[in-house]
Amino acid sequence: MYRLLQNFINLGKKEKVLKQDIPDSLILAYIFQSLTIPNHFHVPKEEWNRHLKELIKYGLMKRE
């Protein structure tokens, strides 16, 4: 899993989709830690996963 995500990050940086100045290790830690957030409010799994993906891809800021 780690190697797959590392390849994903490498490709994202090569295609200039991901910020070059953020260390790969921090991006990987952010992704892995995001996946371990407990779902205390029992949000349906599909919705929970969709929101996690959105947070990983776009952060908390509103997109315009």
Question: What is the reported pLDDT for 64?
Answer: 73
pLDDT, position 50: 96
Q: Where are the domains of the chain?
A: 2-58
Amino acid at 26: L
C-beta separation of 5 from 30 below 8 A: no
pTM: 0.79
3-60 pLDDT tens trace: 999 999 999 999 999 999 999 999 999 999 998 999 999 999 999 999 999 999 899 9
- Tokens for 40, please give them: 């205390």
